Copies of this chain bind each other. A is one copy, B any other.
Amino acid sequence: MQVLVIYDVENDRVRLKVANACKDYGLQRVQYSAFKGELTGNRMEELFFRLKKILGVDVGNIQMYPMCDKDLKRAREIENVSIM
């Protein structure tokens, strides 16, 4: 299933580790603090505990949302990229 991970993490070093863990699990960055990709239920649980360990006692919030195909079909995006 597709899983969206969004995070607010204060500490730069910890935030980078969160991003790297998401990449390790094959997720793609969709925004500065958001990753999305295919995970099994088990891999999602694994990533959850890895992120929990990475955050440790640092201040932050991490949310993981599994999404079914039906919902993803109704998702909408607005994208304006810089031409510079």
Contact = CB atoms under 8 A, between A and B. Distances in A.
Interface in A25-84: 30-34, 41, 44, 48, 51-52, 55, 57-68, 70-72, 74-82
B71 A68 contact: yes
Nearest to A60: B80
A31 B74 CA distance: 22
Contacts of A81: 59
Interface residues on A, range: 35 or more
Contacts of A78: 48, 51-52, 55, 60-63
A24 to B, nearest CB: 17
B55 A31 contact: no
